[in-house]
Amino acid sequence: MVPKMQQEVTVIGEVQNSTSHLFRPGLARDDYIALSGGETRRADASRTYIVRADGSVIANAGTRWFRSGGSTQIKPGDTIVVPLNAEHMPPIPLWQAVTQILYNVAISAAAVHSF
């Protein structure tokens, strides 16, 4: 028996467990993300988007005033994509760059002060 329409909602990207869930009326985008274990630390939650079964894309769903982030109506066959935060800089390279800048400033100040 082949169903006439898709009956699952897929969650992919920066979530703990990328998987498909059986569609349940009343669940919002954030509910399906929570069913997949929630977002990872590297997720960019503000850029989460939905790909509908017909191929259309709903980007930045729920970013308008007076609207919660997970209120977008999910339909059977939708795919929720939680993208990677590409602007996130890991702490070790960040502090490496900061200490190198401070070191160069200190050396420059010492050189100027020695004249």
State the DSSP code for 33. Answer: H
CA atoms within 13 A on the CB side of 12: 7
Cα–Cα distance measured from residue 18 to residue 1, given in angstroms and rounded to the nearest whole number: 26
Question: How does pLDDT run across 55-102, given as a tens digit for each residue?
Answer: 899 987 554 444 455 567 899 999 999 999 888 767 787 788 889 999
Q: What is the domain partition of the chain in residue ranges?
A: 8-82
Question: How does pLDDT run across 46-56, given as a tens digit for each residue?
Answer: 899 999 988 89
Cα–Cα distance measured from residue 48 to residue 60, given in angstroms and rounded to the nearest whole number: 6
Q: 3-state SS string over 53-108?
A: CCCCEECCCCCCCCCCCCCCECCCCCEEEECECCCCCCHHHHHHHHHHHHHHHHHH
State in Å, rounded, how far the first CA of the chain is from the last one: 87
- Predicted structure pTM score: 0.68
* Right CATH for 8-82 from 3.40.50.2300, 3.10.560.10, 3.40.50.720, 3.40.30.10: 3.10.560.10
